[in-house]
Structure 1
């Protein structure tokens, strides 16, 4: 959204608009990707968030009348950067996929 580059949904962060206690729109990170309403997809990088905020892309994508508060998204991205990344496999065990992501085949 901010950098205008596309990517797989699994690599993007979904953001939805909610109403803050003050009554103004605020952005919320949809971690489970199940929240109702329009969603905007963003690369999970602070630079992409800054570009989207500067270009006022969230207001257009989420059809908001005023610019939303992006503090919650910024906090989420900062937590992701500071959190240690464990070297976990991206393929589920027993899923039938090899380490290269291709399905196992008995016909070679």
Structure 2
């Protein structure tokens, strides 16, 4: 066995927003359909994928840096409305779960 491969190691991907490496399960896979970026939370949609942390900060950085067109090798801007909506929904679900968990421990 080489020094690079170890049993039980989770695959890592890089967030196109903040450019930090993270375990694949912590990132949201993005794919392109026509001229739009769409979330692929199950990782089953066909085509090239890019990964981003499912938080608005990383999404905004990726849009500002024009990382999605570069990652998908497409000319011109891509529509990120569906992606932004998904990230905002995920963020609100996480904050609601954190709030209810905090109340349950009291």
Same fold (TM over 0.5): yes
Say how many residue pairs are matched: 82
Which structure 1 residue ranges, 4+ long, deviate > 2 Å from structure 2?
84-87
Aligned to 1:85: 97
Summarize the alignment of residues 17-96 of structure 1 with structure 2, pairs less than 5 Å apart.
Answer: 17-19=32-34, 25-83=35-93, 84-85=96-97
Structure 1 residue 5 corresponds to structure 2 residue 17: no
Aligned to 2:8: none
Aligned to 1:14: 29
Q: Distance in 2 between matches of 1:36 and 1:85?
A: 31
Instruction: Give the root-mean-square deviation of aligned CA atoms.
Output: 1.2
- Give the structure-2-normalised TM-score: 0.73
Q: Distance in 1 between matches of 2:64 and 2:86?
A: 18
Q: Distance in 2 between matches of 1:69 and 1:51?
A: 15
Unmatched runs of 5 consecutive residues or more in structure 1: 20-24, 88-108
Name the structure with the higher helix share: 2
Question: Over residues 76-108 of structure 1, what are the superposed CA-to-partner deviations in whole Å (9 max), with x where a residue is unaligned?
Answer: 011011113376xxxxxxxxxxxxxxxxxxxxx
- Give the structure-1-normalised TM-score: 0.72
Kindly name which structure, 1 or 2, has the bigger radius of gyration based on alpha carbons: 1
Unmatched runs of 5 consecutive residues or more in structure 2: 1-15, 102-106
Aligned to 1:34, the other structure's residue is in SS state coil
